[in-house]
Structure 1
Amino acid sequence: MPLPPTLPLPAGLALPSVGLGTFRLRGADASGAVAAALEAGYRHIDTASIYKNEGEVAAGIAASGVPRREVFVTSKVSPYQQGEAAATAACKASLAALGRPIDLMLVHWPGVARQDAAAPGNADARRQTWRVLERYHREGAFRAIGVSNYEVRHLAELLSYAEVAPAVNQVECHPRWQQRELRAFCSDHSIAVVAYCSLGSGALLQDPTVQAVAASTGVTPAQALLLWGLRRGCAVIPKSADPRRIADVSPARLAQLWDRLTDDHLAALDALEAEQGQCKYAWDPSGIA
């Protein structure tokens, strides 16, 4: 099977399986990275209000010459913007920065910033936030809506009241944090999984097993880790401001390398979680009530 260029979303939408992440990219680095990614063949750009670079993302798209309608843009409502009033303001600001419609808008976090993780108010705030996203979706401002960093229990709660089911759950996922139960739940409920932190914040690039798999298949460690995520059914959103690195993990390049990893190579990467233990490199939502 070739690399799937897209993952299916509701209403006939298609999510490009390889996108550019823009976390911590600001100013000219952000706009330049977006333009370089689009030149390299990417058609999915991931941003968020908390990244404070939505305007630069829009500028990078404009500078690339690629029509906006051909670029799938994801943004997110931040933990500081939960609840009806704050989420409404956040959505208006993102639309002003990125233009209408935004292809995918996510609830970035299941909790409220600066609120006790165990507080019951988290559940009420994310419910209000979801209602805001549903309203913008009905109005056509968001083509699809979803969540990020939601665990199974958060998704089950959301599905119990959602009028529009989440199309996507964007979560940390890599060989040391494989999210098997969560990925299975998402598959059972037709929720696409977008993996972030695929390189383990860079730490996995130095892992001996990852390096051995890469060396034996003629790919780089970064390519091996991204191919693992894609072969496990996720979309991936690698991040870089370097045009050479952006091109090195472009959709076309990863498609060329798709068959390099055999089942044995994938099994060796799968075994890292059991052999070395689980390791989470980004935020942990497990304590969010």
Structure 2
Amino acid sequence: MAARSTGSSIHRLKVLQCPMNLFESGAFLTPNTGLGEKQTVLELAQAEGLAVLVNRPLNAIPAKGGGMVRLAELPVEPETGSFETHRDKLSDLEKEYRRDIAPHIKNPGQGLSPDDYFRWAEELVRLRPRVQNLEHWEQIESQMVAPHINQVLRALTNHLTGEIGDRWQVWRDRYLPELVASLRVLRREATVKSQERTAAIEKLIDPLLPEPARKEPLSRKALWLLTSTVGVTCVLNGMRTKAYVEDSLAVLHKAPLPDVRRIYEAIKQAG
């Protein structure tokens, strides 16, 4: 199109890349390009002889919100006690810190006061009902919890010496296991929420799949759908582990699924 707009019929484009998955299927379903915007991205690419690489095949962002959805079956960790039990232990330890250690720490004059360095019992209670799924929890844990905890632990360990330094280290070694246990409970709850979402997805698409395909894990169904979509040249899937590689390779030997449009449209309608 860019070449034609300059009066040329020749372009040097050979490959294009776009996100595509069960929920983000616009490249296949939505006519919004070409002359008169009457072609889909995949139709135009085929007409122009372009290879199409699709990314994020298993990390979907539904149009109706709700955060990212991981299109895969997620293992749920064993229960390690209730959130309330770990929260209470965490709260008691944080009160002990504010009573015995915080008064000995010089207030930096900006940012948090030493009294507020450890208030995760309260903060996790506030966060708990807001967690949407495992992906959302991992963002909270990696971007909010871990950076703060690591910074404070490093600073206090480096600066507290003598008797108060010894007291700090004893308290820290008691506190961290309880904090980790509390975080694991919330991670488990987030995983269950993700499982409920993926189970609903499978319930929707399985009746539209051939009988043998229904027995496959969701990740393989999602990849198989993309490799069966006319116009898709290559599916770019992150493969950080051996299990991811094996899951992806298994799809390469499968015959294309019939009538993939019905599946994309069913997901689009359900949102």
- TM-score normalised to structure 1 length: 0.35
Larger % of helix: which? 2
Q: Which has the higher contact order (CA 8 A, sep 6+)?
A: 2
Larger % of strand: which? 1
Higher-Rg member (1/2): 2
- TM-score normalised to structure 2 length: 0.37
